[in-house]
Amino acid sequence: MNSLPKGFSFYTGNYNPEQYTKNNLLAIVADTEVFCSAMFTKNTCCGAPISLAKEKLEKKYDIHVGNISGIIINTNIANVATGEKGITDSKRQAQLLAKSLNVSENKILVSSTGCIGPFLPMQQMEIAIPKLIFGKKQNLKNSANAIMTTDIKEKFISVRCGEATIAGIAKGSGMIAPNMATMLAYVMTDANISKEKFAHIWKKSVEKSFNMVSVDNCESTSDTAIAMMNPLSKVDEKEFEKQVFQITTFLAKAIAYDGEGATKGIEVRVTGAESENSAQKIAQKIVSSDLVKTAIFGKDLNWGRIIQAAGHTHLSIDLSSLTCSIGGITVFKNGLSVEISPETELQAFENSEIIIEFQMKQGDFSATAWGCDLTYKYVQINGEYRT
């Protein structure tokens, strides 16, 4: 599906067409004020848009919430480490969209992603942002394209939930690590549930999806994940929670598997852990390991790197009851290595998605994390990022 929930519109534009060939501005606009739940990067060197958003929203239900009328998003420049000018510029972006919509600037959030350090070209923004809502309304695919940076593929999804629609878009390809990533994610719905429940569902879904991805183990300064609710359609809360998690998982995997230079997607499944926290930490550590990533790239069934990464959590792991498989091939069972033929080893890497299963038999808890292999191309992309 490529449809939007009732009450939401997307508009795209380009604030510097002479330099950039694709659209790099997106406005998400609500017909009326909508309730939003937001989570942001934990990086203490966050960008101006993050600081301003936290000021406009209230910390409630252990998450940032509030009523908003829209979001303005720009790519190519992150507006991070730009001092007071960066704050002023971000405020001005909100003012420009707010004036176009005839709403308060306090009801407009801003997101920026791209290179850290440069100032936003505000002369171009002054011209481009007011034009946005007079342009053609865009679908999910075109909107997702407008927020891409080094991404190769657009990341978007839309599902039905009873009479309601839930839709989401995201971007992210590099500087991706647990605690979100250089990622922007926006989910919209016309479902009607309580604000507290909506916030709880969003927080839980983000923690189990976007917070479980890693491309390069680098926590970004601009991570933003926002869910918006225009309460027009009744839904079953359990089904709604299931569908939101389906959307965030889809987008999280899309980000992980579109990692810069990636040739393989990696899914790490930890089962039998003594707690959910333990399962999550082990899954995150395995999927974040450069040694695991390079082994996958090199088609090397080097299970020792997985064991090392799991042990790096400093959690109690009983090797004698541990079983581990890579790409469907059991490589370690009950504390001992399994002999693998060269032909079988190659079979483990036939698919574009490599699943690592880490079965602990120490409890009833599980977790899943997503990432990708680490390749020569990743080094090239980031070595030439500003040149």
Catalytic residue among 12, 149, 150, 182: 182
Residues 6 or more apart from 166 whose CB is under 8 A from it?
5, 158, 159, 160, 187, 188, 189, 191, 240, 243, 244, 247
**What distance in Å separates the CA atoms of residue 187 and residue 234, rounded to the nearest whole number?**
18
Task: Decide: 37 and 196 in contact? Cβ < 8 Å.
Answer: no
Task: Decide: 80 and 222 in contact? Cβ < 8 Å.
Answer: yes
Scored b (16 or more CB within 10 A) or e, 289-310 reads beebbebbbebebbbebbbebb
Query: Other CB atoms closer than 10 Å to residue 382's CB: what's the count?
Result: 16
Task: Decide: 283 and 270 in contact? Cβ < 8 Å.
Answer: yes
Residues 6 or more apart from 242 whose CB is under 8 A from it?
none
Task: Decide: 48 and 83 in contact? Cβ < 8 Å.
Answer: no
For residue 95, count CB atoms less than 10 angstroms from its CB and return exposed for 0-12, middle for 13-18, buried for 19 or more: middle
Q: 341 in helix, strand or coil?
A: coil
Q: Is 182 a catalytic residue?
A: yes
Task: Decide: 77 and 112 in contact? Cβ < 8 Å.
Answer: yes
DSSP H stretches of helix in the chain:
48-56, 83-101, 122-131, 140-146, 195-208, 237-257, 276-288, 290-297, 303-311, 342-347, 376-383
Q: 173 in helix, strand or coil?
A: coil
Q: Which residues are catalytic?
A: 182
